[in-house]
Chains A and B, each alone.
Chain A
Amino acid sequence: MKNKNKFLEILIYLPFVFLFLGYEYFLISSLIFILLIINLNFKIKINRIVLKAIFLIFITTRLLSGMILKLNTVWSSLSQKNYATDGRFIDIQDIFWSLNCNALSTGEFIIFGTNITINCPRPVPYGPLFDLIRFENNVLYSTLVFSTATLLLVYFVYLKVGKCLDELNFYILTLCMMSPPINFLIERMNFDIFIFLSFIPVCFYIKNNYLKFFLILFLTLLKIYPIFLIIFDLIYVVVTRENKNLKDKIFDAFSFFAALIYLLYISIGGSSFTEILPSRPDRTFGLLSEAININLIFGFNKLLCYLFLFNLVLLIALKTSKDFYYSQLFSEKSTHSIILLFLMFTFYANYDYRMSILLILFPKIIKSKNIILKYSYFVTLFFSPGIIHSYNFFFDMVENNFMIYLDIPLYFLIACLLVEYVIFLKLNFQKTSN
């Protein structure tokens, strides 16, 4: 028995070996170990310091290979083939170049790591604040400073969250911190990483409603979607009949209308955010993106495809609702709004890196006793983006995004969360009617 445990204690580090050899093997082996841990009652010792060191090595390697072009092989081997590009932290490079364009109005810039040239003017398709900031900067230095600071912050959050977890859950957290959506987000260094990191203090630590409102408003000026947090917060207040004085009630009503007016302004003002509908099947998620893909191959109306997928989710929800274990995921205001925001993403079309928002829910999900919810959470996380069909074993496939498939584990996750929300609503209505 002792020997068996010793063997397992060594074997459990196998995914980390694959991490640096081939990311696709890491993905599968991690998922296998996570599912085994959830199912079997492992009693093994895992060294926290080793796990912390491995994650530190991972982000340091990513950062160094991001700075040094000679480490191109390392940079590529850390990414999945779905999105791998030679460009370093390209999304944030793009933003810094746009800020430069606001200040200089003309100029030309070669994206670091590639031969792609971009010119001014180059508007950022995010919030309106980016159009106003004039910041003449060296794009390369700004990118590296921002990336280093952000990765340090990610590591700090990882340590902070990991403190409250036992050894096995800390091991799962470490694997999840290197899961495909997070890795995709770090590789691109999309501005979402900053928004998601900001959600943690805004939703979980700041108790002052006014400060919280203004911080969300600030984030909304950078990217549009945080505005929905205000609306979801208000839904929570209405559903739970949270006790508030008149002043707070007036402020809630004001913030709700402010959010609505802002959304109306954005939609009527023709913001590009409503026009961006990512739908490449190998790197996007959401019912809308899948409806677009089904429309492409079958030629059916997009709305019909969307309704079909929505019904499929409802069908799974009906199925899972039997003997459902309620985990009280929506009982806290912070998690309530984050989950609703995630659900909103899933009904729209988004890049897979936005799935990283699920990591904020990790402490709640891991403690849940709803095994189906856990399964769907981890399988979704480790298959977004998933394994593509061709890896150049025999030959290059020109159109890797040709294969169209449905994200079935995601449908299970949406179904579980919908059932959870219906129970939450039901319980609260019962409470208020009594």
Chain B
Amino acid sequence: MKIYKLHALFLTLILIFLTLLLSDTLTINVLNKIGQTENINCFDYENMKDYKKVDAKKRSYFSDQNLKSLIFEKKIFCIGKVSFKNIQLNTYNFEIIYSRSLYLILAQIIPIIIFSVTPTRLYNKFLIFNIICYELVVQVLFNFRTGFNLFNSVSISTSLILCLYIYEKQK
């Protein structure tokens, strides 16, 4: 693998994720309670920030999507979207469309596999830069809209150890 191919790979991945991030106008098909297909606009999901000013306790629950529903029902475009569910005992409850499996694959398994197959001679500062950008974009995609920490264990520990390793070997 040549170095420009590696950069191109990272750049493509970053672009795909950025597209997903800006995909608010896309629609998805979901099954409603009576089993009919319904067309939902991702933009219809309310943003968490709208509720920021509400003076009440806010709690969120996850709606974990498996890989199959993400791909076939195109729910991948709605990752991280928060929707208001109900109010119980003066507590606002929200539901977040999320996918633990996709998060694990994108944030950790893909970087570690790319790192493992990249020959040591291709290690340079641009690769470090690519890893940081890639990890940041994945974190933004999964955690920004939900108001979670962008700098969590997944993003920092993984990219930090990979970058430190590459930096040291390149030295």
Contacts and interface: CB of A to CB of B under 8 A. Distances in A.
B164 A375 contact: yes
Interface string B124-168: 000000000000000000010011110111101110111011001
A387 B153 contact: yes
Contacts of A405: 104, 107-108, 153-154, 158
A393 B144 CA distance: 12
A316 B61 CA distance: 36
A319 B116 contact: yes
Contacts of A297: 64, 100-101, 104
A281 to B, nearest CB: 9
Given A375-B164, A375-B168, A406-B104, A395 B154 contact: no
Nearest to B58: A395
Nearest to A308: B109
A335 B168 CA distance: 26
B60 A393 contact: no
A320 B160 CA distance: 16
B62 interface: yes
Interface range on chain A (Cβ under 8 Å from partner): 35 or more
A387 B168 CA distance: 25
A409 B48 contact: no
Contact of A386 (B49, B146, B153): B153
B147 A387 contact: no
A412 B151 CA distance: 21
Interface string A388-403: 1111011111110011
Contacts of B57: 396
B111 to A, nearest CB: 9
A322 B165 CA distance: 12
B123 to A, nearest CB: 11
Given A379-B161, A379-B164, A408-B158, A396 B153 contact: no
Contact of B103 (A28, A391, A403): A403
Given A386-B153, A387-B149, A396 B58 contact: yes
Report the 5 A-B pairs with minimum CB-CB distance, sorted nearest first.
A386-B153, A394-B147, A395-B58, A389-B148, A409-B161
Interface of B: 48-49, 51-52, 57-62, 64, 92, 94, 98, 100-101, 103-104, 107-109, 112, 115-116, 120, 143, 146-149, 151-154, 156-158, 160-162, 164-165, 168-169
Given A399-B62, A412-B165, 20 more contacts: A35-B164, A297-B101, A316-B112, A372-B168, A375-B161, A376-B161, A379-B161, A385-B153, A386-B152, A386-B157, A389-B149, A394-B52, A394-B146, A395-B48, A395-B94, A396-B59, A397-B60, A402-B62, A402-B64, A409-B157
